[in-house]
Amino acid sequence: MIRSIIWIGAVLLPIMVLANYSDSNPLYGQNSGFQEGKGSFLTATLVDDRLFLDIPREVLDRPVLFVRYGQGTDRMFLQVVWSVEGDKLLLKVPAIRSTAGITIPIRPKLSIKENILAIFPFDKGKDNPEMLTVDITDLVLHHSIEWEPGYKETMVPELTMLMGAKNLTDEVVIKIRKGLIVRGSKIAVPTFFGFSPMPEPMKARRFDFRMGFYDEETSGIHFHMRNSLANIARWRLEKKHKDQKLSVPIKPITFLISPEVPKKWRPYVKAGIEEWLSAFESAGFKDALVVKEVDSLDEWTAHSIRSNIVHWPEKKYMRGSEYEDYGGTVARIMDLGTGEILRGDIFIGASERTAMEKYFVRMAPLDKRAQQFPLPDEIVGAMFQVTTAHEAGHIFGLKDANYGEYTYPWDKMNDSLWLRKMGYTPSIMNYTRPSNLPQPEDSIPPSLLVQKVGPADRYNIQWAYTEFPEALSTEQESRALEKMIRWQDSVPWYRFNNAIFETLGPGASNEVVETNDPVRSTELALKNLERVITLLPKVTEDQKDNAILGRLYEKTVELWYNHMVHVSTLIGGYDIHYKPLGQQGKMYTPIPWEKQSEAIDFLLVNAFNPPAWLIQPSFHSKTRFSTFPDKVMEYQQRLLPELILAPRLKRLEYMERSLASESLIRTYLDELQSGLFLELQSGQTTVDGRRQAVQILFIEQLIMIVNQKRPGLDPQQRFFAHSDYIKALVMGQLMDLEKAIEKASEKRWDATSNGHWQRCLQKINGM
């Protein structure tokens, strides 16, 4: 028995946690049993600043949704039940019996049947013995509810007050002003609570790691090659006409565009959501989505479980936040038992300036409309449409990740027919941004270079939302779904991979257009980046300061780095295709060494010997007074350690065994080291300052690997720990480098370069 303490009014009462559990308990996995209609659910009443709740007996021991709507994206919810024990009314949080065949615990690894959230004395309704009345004022004003594991808030009672309550159809919404301490300041923020009956459980779809869907907890983490007992997150969509291949749903998914969204951007926001109509048609639903613009929205409707709202947060306009590069996010409220999404809100966080700048650094050479600043509204609107469409994908259950990347042919990126039909990336959920691969002479319409809902999105929605005939058995339906997953065998851009933990290859990188040939596509992108740098002085010459010039230059350098990272994923990289052991072929196919070697050569030339147009553009002579900051150098110093991190070298170590190539890591380190210290083998007698910094960093990183302490049992430590075999190889590299530097000392270096080589030797000998 576990004891804790809660406040109920002015009285301390103990929480009694009951340890007994039974699968047959009616609280788990049963229908809600509520009847639609007035008086069948809770009713709130305000009397002298106290909030009373009338609870019909038919509501007792039935699942109820309890929601907290905080500021911004803050949405938290619990599935609760009201239950009578003696002369007390208990508000309990039960463990949820999922229809996937497993129990979702109240807290991770806490195997108890239920917890008690609050205890109330109650009065039977004076005029209705079937009604119980409780005072919940202290519950909503002062009770510290643990909405999520580890959730805490520091309340300020003197700033907390009750603002009102509203009885909607089968729903109660309550408003308070909550005093909190946030970042050391006392603030009072509007907070809403909602009670509503849980719906009857819908038919769920099981989670499969090969598809790109969240599970019902949304925060659940699934490792590669693992299928948890879970349902996917999705909406309840049911055909109105079961006999029709394409039918309208009984209840479409309806969105309200908040009045806070500026009118000129609303058509783009609406279009972003409606891009998904074709995806739902692939699942058999016509007009599955309804998007409404509203010029006014009362606060009670805005906080109803039945409202799905597109928000336009004001944070983007607040001083101190205007420089944040923030796109958008979502908040979902769900039935944990089935994965049904009950409410989904979209928050468009990107500012007009963010949209303009991201577009400019990729598209200015390819879209004449972008060769000015600020950019026209139609460009900014198109970017808001992309953001909305991406966030809508999350609302429908899809993850951020990599869908079909490293599959599209690089030579199709300037083919207008391909782009019109397939897009330049298979999914709106990929972090590819506008495409900067075509060249100006290709004359590709700019509209084809902005991301849209693609074939991988339609495929995922088809798998998740297709209704099967009721006569079909569970086994038959499972076989049909598996058949759909196996389409990935012949259509590579349908493949999903989860790149959360480790970037295993070019299909798992972000921020650039990932084609089947990263080196060729990056060569094209670099040509456009040089054009962007050339355009910068022209588009910013009418500005009163250099703020925009500086930001655009830094964003261009950042994009250059992202392209370098994309190429680097070939080294120690795999082509990924999730599949069970019984299926023919490998899950991870090593990138051929010829491609890996080509990537090394490319990086040595383009990343570690960057062009003058990038590191020292013409406008620097007018705007700079110091070598600090040096953004290119910062990214070089980030990229170089990544090339010899333990996860990458361990993948190469495994490839040595699987490909029977004993010298693979040594070959890689030799190529990398020879390229970084090219001056030792050439007739040069000078090493410039940038090269010196890179070479010193490389030596320091090798020394760190050799001196790395043996890790303990912590998985994260072991993940970043180099093996003894790799340490031995790295030690050999340092010994070879020492000999090469000593041999090259006979050359007539200039004084600075000679001092540099002496520093290198000092560091190696200092081991």
Pairing state of beta strands 588-590 and 574-576?
antiparallel
> In this predicted structure, what is the pLDDT of residue 320?
73
> In this predicted structure, what is the pLDDT of residue 127?
66
Q: Tell me if residue 679 falls in helix, strand or coil.
A: helix
Q: How far apart are CA 576 and CA 508, in angstroms?
A: 9
Structural tokens at position 611:
């062009």
Say what the alpha-carbon torsion angle 644, 648, 653, 656 is, to the nearest 10 degrees. Answer: -110
Q: How far apart are CA 448 and CA 598, in angstroms?
A: 30
Strands (E) in 615-721, as ranges, are: none
Cβ atoms 731, 767 nearer than 8 A: no
Cβ atoms 151, 76 nearer than 8 A: yes
Q: Quick one: CA dihedral 457, 458, 461, 463, positive or negative?
A: negative
- For residue 69, the tally of other CB atoms under 10 A from its CB is 24
Classify residue 623 as left (phi > 0), alpha (psi -120 to 50) or beta. alpha
> In this predicted structure, what is the pLDDT of residue 227?
82
> In this predicted structure, what is the pLDDT of residue 124?
73
Q: What percent of the chain has pLDDT over 90?
A: 77
Q: How far apart are CA 16 and CA 412, in angstroms?
A: 65
pLDDT confidence tier of residue 318, bands split at 50, 70 and 90: confident
Structural tokens at position 384:
């808001």
Q: Tell me if residue 120 falls in helix, strand or coil.
A: strand
Tokens 């010196």 correspond to: 692
The per-type count for the chain, helices as H runs and strands as E runs, is 21, 24
> In this predicted structure, what is the pLDDT of residue 23?
32
> In this predicted structure, what is the pLDDT of residue 126?
63
As a whole number, the mean pLDDT across the chain is: 90
pLDDT at 362 > cutoff 70: yes
Cβ atoms 500, 317 nearer than 8 A: no
> In this predicted structure, what is the pLDDT of residue 120?
94
> In this predicted structure, what is the pLDDT of residue 125?
66
Q: Domain residues of the chain, as ranges?
A: 3-197, 644-767
Structural tokens at position 125:
């309704």
pLDDT tens, position by position, 256-285 = 999 999 999 999 999 999 999 999 999 999
Q: How far apart are CA 732 and CA 149, in angstroms?
A: 49
> In this predicted structure, what is the pLDDT of residue 28?
31
Give the chain's largest Cα–Cα span.
Answer: 105
> In this predicted structure, what is the pLDDT of residue 228?
83
> In this predicted structure, what is the pLDDT of residue 15?
30
Pairing state of beta strands 88-94 and 114-121?
antiparallel
Q: How far apart are CA 275 and CA 684, in angstroms?
A: 57
Residues paired with 188 in a beta bridge: 179
Exposure letters 634-665 (e unless 16+ CB within 10 A, then b): ebbeebbeebbebebbbbbbebbeeeeeeebb
Q: Which residues contact 386 (CB under 8 A, 6 or more apart)?
A: 272, 428, 450, 451, 452
Q: Which residues contact 219 (CB under 8 A, 6 or more apart)?
A: none
Cβ atoms 461, 282 nearer than 8 A: yes
- For residue 481, the tally of other CB atoms under 10 A from its CB is 18
> Would the pTM count as exceeding 0.85?
yes
> In this predicted structure, what is the pLDDT of residue 692?
96
Cβ atoms 170, 36 nearer than 8 A: yes
Q: Which of 122-131, 427-436, 501-510 has the highest mean pLDDT?
A: 427-436
Q: Tell me if residue 686 falls in helix, strand or coil.
A: coil
Out of 125-129, 296-300, 450-454, 684-688, least confident range: 125-129
Average pLDDT over residues 134-143: 94
Q: How many CA within 13 A on the CB side of residue 510?
A: 13
Average pLDDT over residues 64-75: 93
Pairing state of beta strands 340-348 and 309-311?
parallel
pLDDT tens, position by position, 162-192 = 999 999 999 999 999 999 998 889 999 999 9
Q: How many CA within 13 A on the CB side of residue 506?
A: 30
More confident residue, 667 or 6: 667
C-alpha angle with apex 327: 325 to 328, nearest 5 degrees?
A: 140
Q: How far apart are CA 27 and CA 62, in angstroms?
A: 7
> In this predicted structure, what is the pLDDT of residue 224?
52
Residue whose C-alpha is closest to residue 439's, from 567, 563, 526: 526
Structural tokens at position 173:
């919404």
pLDDT tens, position by position, 576-632 = 999 988 888 999 999 999 999 999 999 999 999 999 999 999 999 888 888 889 999
> In this predicted structure, what is the pLDDT of residue 225?
57
pLDDT tens, position by position, 428-470 = 999 999 999 999 999 999 999 999 999 999 999 999 999 999 9
> In this predicted structure, what is the pLDDT of residue 401?
82
pLDDT at 18 > cutoff 50: no
Exposure letters 563-591 (e unless 16+ CB within 10 A, then b): bbbbbbbbbbbbbbbbbeeeeeeebbebb
> In this predicted structure, what is the pLDDT of residue 699?
97
Q: How far apart are CA 171 and CA 104, in angstroms?
A: 25
Helices (H), 90-166: 137-141
- The order of strands in the sheet holding 289-293 is 289-293, 253-257, 309-311, 340-348, 328-335
pLDDT confidence tier of residue 712, bands split at 50, 70 and 90: confident
pLDDT tens, position by position, 368-399 = 999 998 999 999 999 999 999 999 999 999 99
Cβ atoms 55, 131 nearer than 8 A: yes
Q: What percent of the chain has pLDDT over 70?
A: 93
> In this predicted structure, what is the pLDDT of residue 128?
77
Q: Tell me if residue 68 falls in helix, strand or coil.
A: strand
More confident residue, 434 or 685: 434
Q: How far apart are CA 131 and CA 129, in angstroms?
A: 5
Average pLDDT over residues 18-39: 35
> In this predicted structure, what is the pLDDT of residue 530?
98
What does the DSSP assignment read for 330-351? EEEEEETTTTEEEEEEEEE---
> In this predicted structure, what is the pLDDT of residue 149?
83
Cβ atoms 647, 502 nearer than 8 A: yes
Strands (E) in 74-220, as ranges, are: 75-85, 88-94, 96-97, 103-104, 114-121, 123-124, 131-135, 161-168, 171-182, 185-197
pLDDT at 3 > cutoff 80: no
pLDDT tens, position by position, 225-253 = 578 889 999 999 999 999 999 999 999 99
> In this predicted structure, what is the pLDDT of residue 326?
73
